Chain A
């Protein structure tokens, strides 16, 4: 049976789409047939992150209107043939689709794919309802910030009310050095409030910005092996049920000189 997972957060800008793109690509690399669905009608981004923008012909809205077949709308990734994208319409709003239509669409995808990742829009209105209605599992993405965690908490409550019992937490953009200095919420602080199983912690990484702009998910690039891409790869292995130890994200020890300075009570 295929797994239908919605990637959601409540707050915008915490990395839902980046997470969807990277997890989708990493799952495909491990031999699964993966469909990533952009449920962010009117503000679609997933195609950009995957670098598939210029290959979109039809979108989900045309499929629902009966103007094309589902497989015509699916965009296959040339670099990774196991991965397909179902794009959202850019010229419509969230009300263009109903939950029933979304359910039908996802149901049709389960016939050909093992994993279906749904990229949920920010907010908890119609777009959210559409994105979660067909999902059986959820990945809740948050950053270690009070506002993001507050919204994630609200979303967890709504997912529970929508009968999604299996939820996993991904903490994105953690800055270990700041946590060390007690300037940022730690993984434990976030877990204390949200109380759902932790799937992974992705450290803040400039390479993510570069890969996003290039339309090339981080896990795809072979020349640069970054902590963030390892984190995404680990998350995928945990999704498969494997027990993978969490990355050691403690900041590298200070050099001898700055340690001595601190010892003598000087400001570095």
Chain B
């Protein structure tokens, strides 16, 4: 592991360019497996890609019906037959099956065809990625462990703990049903109304839009569910029970 994405991101509170990640997206009764563009994420090696894929697969397993068809949207990524087979095998372990591969690369299309998958060359990706609106929330049922970085162009919900050494970077809100001990960033594209919520808020650092806050030196005596939001003076923390609803839905002014 030569480049740790977390280290590079730690110094800068604002993320200029979100690194695209592997993600699943359900569309009707089928599932899309979206790989990041090779041109956008040149640094992501196959090993990194594979690790992200496995993490997302493990964290979402409960939601998928058995035998759901998966459409692999490989875009411009170069995949060989062995890698395609590895993806198909991992999917079938999770009771899913690889139905078709979409790619814009001729070599990937040839590899997929020789390995025995149905292929569509010509990228259908535009249809999936249109619009500037936030992506649908990313729901992760897992412990986000040290070294893992989750980036998402929408809100992120974690059912589990977010451990120190990991980071969650969301363009929307960050909700952690568990302990938030790592780094969390909400509104990464600059939205000040985004919030970070956790049952146990003891983060290394939290960031909302351009604001940043550290945990107090003295840990509190006991932890209660809390919400971090941006007020005039910067990031504020409120008890979840007291967090007034009109902060979430500010009155029109």
Contact = CB atoms under 8 A, between A and B. Distances in A.
Given A150-B165, A193-B164, A157 B1 contact: no
B146 A151 contact: yes
A156 B54 contact: no
Interface residues of A, number: 15
Contacts of A124: 1
Contacts of B50: 161
A160 interface: yes
Nearest to A146: B164
A157 B148 contact: yes
A157 B148 CA distance: 8
Most chain B Cβ neighbours within 10 Å, of A151, A157, A158, A161: A157
B55 A161 contact: yes
A157 B143 CA distance: 9
Give the dominant DSSP class at A's interface.
Answer: helix
A161 B163 contact: no
Contacts of B146: 150-151, 153-154, 157
A161 B54 contact: yes
B51 A153 contact: no
Contacts, number: 41
A157 B179 contact: no
9 contacts: A150-B165, A153-B163, A157-B148, A158-B51, A161-B50, A192-B161, A193-B163, A193-B181, A195-B143
Nearest to A151: B146
- Identify the 5 closest CB pairs spanning chains A and B, nearest first: A157-B145, A153-B146, A154-B146, A154-B147, A161-B54
A125 interface: yes
Interface in A104-146: 124-125
Interface in B74-92: none
Nearest to A193: B163
A10 to B, nearest CB: 9
Interface in A172-207: 192-193, 195
Given A154-B145, A154-B146, A195-B143, A160 B165 contact: no
Interface string B156-167: 000001011100
Contacts of A125: 1
